Chains A and B, each alone.
Chain A
């Protein structure tokens, strides 16, 4: 794993997920440095629908419990399945859109976009409650073209090379 020294301009906060701006994350970024990134790839076993692999990556073993991680990924998968579901309502919407020459896409927010907002809120909440206290940060897949879930692993500043376990992130030294 690479340990990136903390530099001023390459502030880790510019790996911005614009939906997760809270104090605990600011503290994280001010006092910790980015150590590594884990990428959860897509699971194509059911076709091209958006679904991520629930396999637990080895880099996170010392950081977070397996069940918490799997819950997060499964909930995200459920959200995406809900967004892409084709059923009675989506047929009606599709026919109506076709009848108006698809001009309603310019005026209305689509169902997918509504679910994406819910997903962003969920990811922010997960980051605040579960991942930031463990020195991790989830990036919304939409920022990465829905290809991967990017999980950034942070280390306490000052501990070079060794990844500290579930260390408490204190922002006192940064301020």
Chain B
């Protein structure tokens, strides 16, 4: 087999004259002679994510309360090591800081991995694919004025499952995939969007999330026990609790934090252990997809009917790869044009949430095929979108908000699934959820205003992190 090296196209050798005089390099990784540097795919990513370290780290646009989570863990553990450990080492055993240290490191690492890992985002369909799907739908001869919800039924292990069509990503969602409106991405095996870690929890980072909450519940319980022992030992001999607290004020803070969080975290761990054992996601559990509420005889088609096998398939399965190639380079000639085209595409995609029109995609595809520059195709595509049908907008707007409320309810019910969740703690959580709810309608309608900001923000942040030496996280 001969080896083919892409040769630079000689414009004079081609039969058709070229509209642009730019030379083209076949090798993507070569630095272009033009002033524009080769762009990586994360820079034109259409979802609401932020990227750091040149695409190695991915987080949701709103970091939620991740700083608060980190702060609480660091403060509590720090106080533990400073105030309680010296006393306990002297009076009990020196294993205590060792165990505490191991748990603390475990918690921190799994938290960061949960937050910075791609949860299983599905890349959006290419225009060709979208046109192919829409062609099939039109051929069924549906001529009603209001297009019905596009669902497709498949049979999975003798169970009928409905696959919904995602208008944003322009594809039929695979089973167990859900579209997160906060991140504006379809995520595989979508569990919920967790504001505490500032990221969606899906197929790829569910094991990190589960390990995080289990180790956090161990850490919290451990610190709680140690602090109680410490205060009890100090208060011995009739000295009293107040005296003990005065001697070690840090312990008071730890006691309060641990006391209020241990119940909800233990409850959450128990809930997720149940989900893992029955191979369910929070999303499915809340919707009651497999519990037979609707009266039909439905069973979970994904369960292996064996607790051990279910646990292993969820936690010990081979790690799937990231489907969004964040650090890959855009093809050389498209990076100059795709930049503008992909900035247009999110606007179109977002507009499709409000005005859905099948002709928009077809027009885009045809004009992309016929015109040499992708950027010029978009103005042709856009006017067709402008004439689009608004009748699906109410149906569509309910979709993203319902997705969000599922994620939010996930946090509510997961904490209420615990044995006794402190009312104050759930109130704090519900306040945060309501605050998120107030933010949600704005991004959906803010889109036409700032199409370039998602690109600008990661760019500036990436440049500031170029010197970073963080290890790559998948």
Please give the residue numbers on chain A whose beta carbons come within 8 Å of chain B beta carbons, in ascending order.
2, 4-11, 13-14, 16, 18, 21-23, 25-26, 37, 39, 42, 44-48, 83-86, 90-91, 93-95, 97-98, 101-103, 105-106, 110-113, 116, 128, 142, 144-148, 150, 175
Chosen A-B contacts, 7 in total, with CB atoms closer than 8 Å, are A7-B371, A22-B4, A48-B188, A94-B315, A144-B129, A147-B122, A175-B13
User: What separation, in Å, do the CA atoms of A146 and B177 have in the docked complex?
Assistant: 13
The reply on B326 being an interface residue by CB < 8 A is no
* Nearest B-chain residue to A34, judged by Cβ: B369
Chain B interface extent, by class: 35 or more
A116-B211 contact, Cβ under 8 Å, with A10-B372, A22-B2: no
Q: Are A94 and B317 in contact (CB under 8 A)?
A: yes
Q: Are B128 and A105 in contact (CB under 8 A)?
A: no
Q: Which of A6, A10, A142, A147 contacts B321 (CB 8 A)?
A: A142
Chain A residues with Cβ below 8 Å from B106 are 101
The reply on B455 being an interface residue by CB < 8 A is no
Chain B residues with Cβ below 8 Å from A39 are 128-129, 132
Q: Are A26 and B4 in contact (CB under 8 A)?
A: yes
A44-B321 contact, Cβ under 8 Å, with A7-B16, A106-B472: no
Q: Which of B18-26, B141-149, B227-235, B246-254 contacts A (4 or more CB under 8 A)?
A: B18-26
Q: Which of B90-98, B150-158, B257-265, B405-413 contacts A (4 or more CB under 8 A)?
A: B150-158
User: What separation, in Å, do the CA atoms of A11 and B9 have in the docked complex?
Assistant: 10
Q: Are B302 and A48 in contact (CB under 8 A)?
A: yes
User: What separation, in Å, do the CA atoms of A103 and B109 have in the docked complex?
Assistant: 8
Per-residue contact bits, chain B 16-45, to A (CB 8 Å; 1 contact, 0 not)? 101110001010100000000000000000
How far apart are B69's CB and chain A's nearest CB, in angstroms? 17
User: What separation, in Å, do the CA atoms of A95 and B316 have in the docked complex?
Assistant: 7
Q: Are A113 and B154 in contact (CB under 8 A)?
A: no
Q: Are A23 and B9 in contact (CB under 8 A)?
A: no
User: What separation, in Å, do the CA atoms of A5 and B132 have in the docked complex?
Assistant: 20
Q: Which of B76-84, B168-176, B342-350, B442-450 contacts A (4 or more CB under 8 A)?
A: B168-176
User: What separation, in Å, do the CA atoms of A95 and B311 have in the docked complex?
Assistant: 12
User: What separation, in Å, do the CA atoms of A7 and B316 have in the docked complex?
Assistant: 49
User: What separation, in Å, do the CA atoms of A33 and B227 have in the docked complex?
Assistant: 74
User: What separation, in Å, do the CA atoms of A8 and B171 have in the docked complex?
Assistant: 30
A147-B316 contact, Cβ under 8 Å, with A14-B334, A102-B211: no
Q: Are A145 and B16 in contact (CB under 8 A)?
A: no
The 8 lowest CB-CB distance pairs between A and B, nearest first, are A94-B316, A8-B18, A145-B123, A23-B2, A23-B4, A101-B109, A9-B372, A145-B323
A21-B4 contact, Cβ under 8 Å, with A39-B132, A45-B156: yes
